[in-house]
Structure formats: structure tokens, C-alpha cells
Amino acid sequence: MATLQDIGVSAAINILTAFIFLLVFAVLRLQPFNDRVYFSKWYLKGLRSSPTHAGAFVRRFVNLDFRSYLKFLNWMPEAIRMPEPELIDHAGLDSAVYLRIYLIGYAANLMLCLLF
């Protein structure tokens, strides 16, 4: 049987790992060489062009604007407030499905917390 200390260590490891993955995602999402991965729909619509065709060599591959790293989570509240058809048009069906699953899990956990 697990002790309270074992559960605490497991929770700390899981929280730390989740935080590290969130930071890695935030840094990689802002790099110009990942634009076609994270913003492929914008390329298809012509709203964004390839960063490898313009600018200094380093800026083609690395985002040196450190202010953009400070506000890397600003998209989350906007995505949650966005209506589902607009979210599908902006980010794709997979984002809408992920957000729906996230919100259902949030509501279910909230109800369980209120019951117990």
C-alpha cells in the first residue's frame, strides 16, 4: 500500500513533468522553423509566409523576441471563449475536439469534487 509520502513524490514528479512539457511546447511553438507544423492552416490561406525566405540566418530558425515568450499562454483563454465553429475555422477540428474533451473532464472533476 502506498504511503502519503509515495503519493506526494509521484504527484511532484507528474506535476514537474507536465510543467516541463508545457514549457517545451511553448518554446517550440514560437520557433519559425515550426510554423508549418503549428500554423499550417494559415499557410494554406496565405496569411503566413515561410520564414526561411527572409531575414537574417539566425532569425529564420530561432525566435529572438523574448517578449513573445512571456505571453505564451495568452491563446488559452481566447480559445476557451471562442465559439466552436470559429475555433474549427481558426485552429481545426482536432483543436475543437480536444477542447471539448478538456471541458467535459473539467466539468466531471468539478462535479466529483462537489460530491465528495
* Residue corresponding to grid cell 520557433: 31
**Domain containing residue 114:** 74-116
User: Same structural domain for residues 61 and 84?
Assistant: no
- Kindly give, in sequence order, each residue whose CB lies less than 8 Å from that of residue 54, ignoring residues fewer than 6 positions away: 60
- Domains held by the chain: number: 2
For the full predicted model, state whether its pTM sits above 0.85. no
Please provide residue 3's backbone torsions phi and psi, each rounded to the nearest 5 degrees.
-85, 170
User: Same structural domain for residues 2 and 53?
Assistant: yes
User: Same structural domain for residues 1 and 57?
Assistant: yes
Question: Which of 66, 91, 106 finishes a domain?
Answer: 66
Q: Comparing 67-71, 75-79, 89-93, which segment has the lowest mean pLDDT? A: 67-71
For 44-68, how does the pLDDT look when each residue is reduced to its tens digit (9 = 90+)?
777 776 665 556 666 667 777 777 7
For 21-39, how does the pLDDT look when each residue is reduced to its tens digit (9 = 90+)?
988 888 888 787 777 777 7
* 99 and 85 Cβ atoms separated by less than 8 Å: no
